[in-house]
Amino acid sequence: LIDGILKTWKGATTEVISTISSTPEYAPTVLGSIPSMGEKEALEAINSSHNAFNNGQGVWPTMKVQDRIKCMENFVQQMKETRSEVVKLLMWEIGKNKADSEKEFDRTVEYIYDTIEEYKVLNHEGARFTKVQGINAMIKRSPLGVVLCLGPYNYPLNETFALLIPALIMGNTVVFKPAKFGVLLLSPLLKAFHAAFPKGVINILYGRGRAVAAPIMKSGLVTVLSLIGNSKSAIALQDLHPSKNKLRLILGLEAKNPAIILPDANIDLAVSECVLGSLSFNGQRCTALKIMYVHESIAEEFNKKFSAKVDALPFGNPWDENAFLTPLPEPDKPAYIQGLIDDAQAKGANIINEKGGERTENYIFPAVLFPVNKNMRVYHEEQFGPVVPIMTFKDIQEPLDDMAASDYGQQVSLFGKDIHTVAPLIDVLVNLVCRVNLNSLCQRGPDVFPFTGRKDSAVGTLSIHDALRSFSIRTFVAAKDN
Ligand code: G3H
């Protein structure tokens, strides 16, 4: 969708291959193909968004609030009709199980409605006049300019839209490039984008990052880089911008969220939350629990119950009714996870669950590794897949020191009962990360909650409320009585 035209592509294409199959006769399936666009289309797209914004004088950034809301309502109305097709593609393209795929779609629809409501509140507040020293002031929020938006493969709909929708509704124009996996599922939505928004307000293109995102950044026409992914790509893209210091960044990046299980924790609760927290969608969530710190006095019981629960998780195709664990969409992921396991075993860890590390071509059963130490790769790397490292601690200062030394600072899960221990700990933990989950797993939602991180985990805050502010600037009109 470039400059208001749904183009028919005649150039080179790239096949979209699905690795999703739990049968032993596994064979990758070609699901479709996408255009391999390059610099020419990238420049068409960025020029189109730049022209549509027209330095703040375009139709979209100057449109009345009610009319922008109508466009968004029109979009979401049409989007709802694509549910079954998008859900099917979520399962086939990224292997997300049926319940979670449906949840991702429904959560996104709800996200759009909630954003519209929050936008109304924001404008209602903004419409209030205050009078100070004889000057009437009307505070507003105004758009920033042109946004380049790059979404992740693990939430190709929901997280992408958590950038796209607030950026659009605030009056910015957007160029959007989907991730490598979870790309076909946007096709059913192209018509809705095309029908709902004026020409150039949203441009959607396909291609490798270096082929399309690089020329877009080099053009210098991007005002905001908004990306969910890794810090390496974010820095590389930022560096391509001719005036990178003026670029606004809204980034959701890596995390290595720990769970800390105190001696008085409810072990059964901690086990269920940690299994879900570490292995929902096979651990392919930036919010997943990626390292466990268990107090040495309860480690034996915790490990036994945790391993048994992991071994009982049903594996299957995403569309199988009970499947919790599903095949992995990235063909090289099983080998990468195997590498982490081999390294940990060579340095003294054991796989403590029976099924841990069982391999097929496109899957590796979650391995629970114990005891993990700081010399192991799995301690440092964001595994983003099915492997769970467990460490023990004697003194609570040990996990706190590790968190302070970490490059990341998104969330933590803390399990414990005694309020006199837990309360002062929370005061420390909120200074190390941005969300403390007491007796529960780490997660992003509900989407009204702030979603951000310290250090290399994020730049800017995404919640419905915060995202509208992130994608805009506070302006005001000051008027003297006459
Ligand atoms: O990959 C990171 C996602 O934002 C995780 O979202 O906690 O809702 O699964 P979630």
Encoded tokens for 474: 């506070």
Distance between Cα 280 and ligand 1 center (Å): 10
CA geometry: angle 402, 250, 90, nearest 5 deg: 90
In this predicted structure, the answer to whether residue 476 has a pLDDT above a threshold of 90 is: no
Asked which of 50-64, 129-143, 302-316 is least confident by mean pLDDT, the reply is: 129-143
CA distance 193 to 218: 26
Name the residue of 273, 444, 449 whose CB sits within 8 Å of the most ligand 1 atoms, as the mutation to test its pocket. 444
Q: Please work out whether the CB of residue 362 comes within 6 Å of at least one atom of ligand 1.
A: no
Confidence of residue 24 (pLDDT cuts 50, 70, 90): low
Residue 125: pLDDT band (50, 70, 90) is confident
**Residue of 158, 244, 173 lying closest to 204 (CA atoms):** 173
Please check the confidence at residue 172 and state whether its pLDDT lies above 90: yes
pLDDT at 180: 86
Q: What pLDDT score does 133 carry?
A: 87
In the predicted structure, residue 19 carries a pLDDT above the cut 80: yes
Is there an atom of ligand 1 within 6 Å of 287 CB?
yes
With a cut of 80, say whether residue 123 has pLDDT above it: yes
Q: How confident is the model at residue 26 (pLDDT cuts 50, 70, 90)?
A: low
Report whether pLDDT(131) > 90. Answer: no
Cis peptide before 28 (omega within 30 of 0): no
pLDDT of the residue at 384: 98
Q: How many residues does the chain have?
A: 482
**CA 285 – CA 104 distance, rounded (Å):** 13
* Per-residue confidence (pLDDT) for residue 132, from 0 to 100: 86
**Does the beta carbon of 411 sit less than 6 angstroms from any atom of ligand 1?**
no
* Ligand 1 site-directed mutation target among 104, 157, 160, 286, most atoms within 8 Å of CB: 286
Q: How far apart are CA 22 and CA 326, in angstroms?
A: 8
For ligand 1, whether the C-beta of 285 sits within 6 Å is: yes
Query: Would you say the CB of residue 365 lies under 6 angstroms from ligand 1?
Result: no
CA dist., res. 230 & res. 207, Å (int):
18
Q: What pLDDT digit, counting tens, does each position of 174-221 carry?
A: 999 999 889 999 999 999 999 999 999 999 999 999 899 999 999 999
- Unique residue bearing structure tokens 């915060």: 466
Average pLDDT score over residue span 344-370: 96
Q: Using a 6 Å cutoff on CB, does residue 159 contact ligand 1?
A: yes
Tell me what pLDDT residue 360 has. 86
Given a cut of 80, whether residue 126 has pLDDT beyond it is no
- Residue type (1 letter), 170: M
Position 25 scores a pLDDT of 58
User: Ligand 1 centre and the CA of 367: distance in Å?
Assistant: 21
Question: Is 445 close to ligand 1, i.e. is its CB under 6 Å away?
Answer: yes
Largest Cα span, the chain = 81
Inform me whether the pLDDT recorded for 127 exceeds 90: no
Q: Does the beta carbon of 286 lie inside 6 Å of ligand 1? A: yes
For 256-274, the pLDDT digits (tens) are: 999 999 999 999 999 999 9
Q: What is the ipTM of this complex?
A: 0.95
Q: Which long-range contacts (CB under 8 A, 24 or more apart) does 459-463 make?
A: 459/234, 459/249, 459/250, 459/251, 459/253, 460/248, 460/249, 460/250, 460/251, 462/162, 462/163, 462/166, 462/250, 462/252
SS3 149: strand
What is the average pLDDT score of the chain?
Answer: 95
DSSP letters for 355-402 = TTT-EETTEEPPEEEES--TTSHHHHS---SSEEEEEEESSTHHHHHH
| Phi, then psi, of 302 in degrees rounded to 5 | -60, -50
Minimal CA–CA distance to 51: which of 203, 206, 228? Answer: 203
Q: Which amino acid is at 417?
A: K
pLDDT tens-place string over residues 403-415? 999 999 999 999 9
Instruction: Measure the CA–CA gap between 73 and 150, rounded to whole angstroms.
Output: 23
The radius of gyration of the chain from alpha carbons, rounded to an integer in Å, stands at 24
If pLDDT is split at 50, 70 and 90, which confidence band does 134 have?
Answer: confident
pLDDT at 130 over 90: no
Q: Kindly report the protein residue whose alpha carbon is nearest to atom 6 of ligand 1.
A: 444
Strand pairing class (387-393; 367-370): parallel
Average pLDDT (434-458) is 96
